[in-house]
Chains A and B, each alone.
Chain A
Amino acid sequence: MVLPPAAAELAPADQARALYRLSDPALSELGLEELLDELLVRVRDALSVDTVAILLYDPDAHELVARAAKGIEEEVEQGVRIPVGRGFAGRIAAERSAIFIADVNHADILNPILRQKGIRSLLGVPLIVQGELIGVLHVGSLTPRQFGPRDLAVLQVAAARAAPGIERTRLFSALEHEHRVAMVLQRSLLPKRLAQGTGISAAARYMPAGNEVGGDWYDVFPLGRGRFGIVIGDVVGHGLRAAALMGQLRTALHAYAIQDHPPAETLELVDRYVQAMPESAMATAAYAILDPETGQLRLASAGHLPPLIVGGESPRVLEMSPAPPLGAFPYGSWPEHEFQLMAGETIVLYTDGLIERRGLPLTESIRMLLDIVACATSAEEVCRLVVDHLIPPDQLTDDAAIVAMNYGQVSADLQLRLPADPGVLAEVRVALRRWLRSQDLAEPEMREIVVAVNEACANAIEHVYPPGPAEFRLTATRSQHELGFTVQGSGSWRGEPGTADRGRGLAIIQAAMDEVTVDRGPTGTLVTMRRRLSR
Chain B
Amino acid sequence: MNLADVHTEIQGSALVARLTGEVDLSNARVIGRALVAAVSNQTETVVLDLSQLQYLDSAGIQLIYQLQTQLRARRQQLRLVVPPDSPAADALRLAGIADQLEVPLFWSDVQ
Interface, chain A (partner B; CB < 8 A): 222-225, 258-260, 421-423, 425-426, 429, 444, 447-448, 450-452, 454-455, 458, 461-462, 500-502, 504-505, 507-508, 511-512
Contact = CB atoms under 8 A, between A and B. Distances in A.
Contact of B22 (A426, A504, A512): A426
Q: Shortest 8 CB-CB distances between A and B: which pairs?
A: A422-B26, A258-B1, A505-B58, A422-B25, A504-B58, A511-B94, A508-B94, A458-B25
Contacts of A448: 90, 94
A259 B7 CA distance: 13
Nearest to A502: B58
A512 B25 contact: no
B54 interface: yes
A451 B87 CA distance: 9
A500 B65 CA distance: 10
Nearest to B20: A260
A225 B24 contact: no
Given A224-B1, A224-B21, A225-B22, A458 B58 contact: yes
Contacts of A458: 24-25, 57-59
Interface in B78-111: 87, 90-91, 93-97
B104 to A, nearest CB: 20
B26 A455 contact: no
A422 B1 CA distance: 17
A134 to B, nearest CB: 56
Nearest to A447: B90
B92 to A, nearest CB: 10
B70 interface: no
Nearest to B93: A511
Nearest to B5: A260
Contacts of A444: 90
Contacts of B22: 224-225, 426, 429
A508 B24 contact: no
Contacts of A455: 57-58
Given A448-B94, A511-B94, 8 more contacts: A223-B1, A225-B54, A421-B26, A422-B24, A444-B90, A447-B87, A455-B58, A508-B91
Which of the listed residues B21, B26, B65 has the most CB atoms from chain A within 10 Å of its own CB? B26
8 contacts: A258-B1, A429-B22, A448-B94, A454-B24, A458-B59, A504-B97, A507-B96, A511-B93
Contacts of B90: 444, 447-448, 451
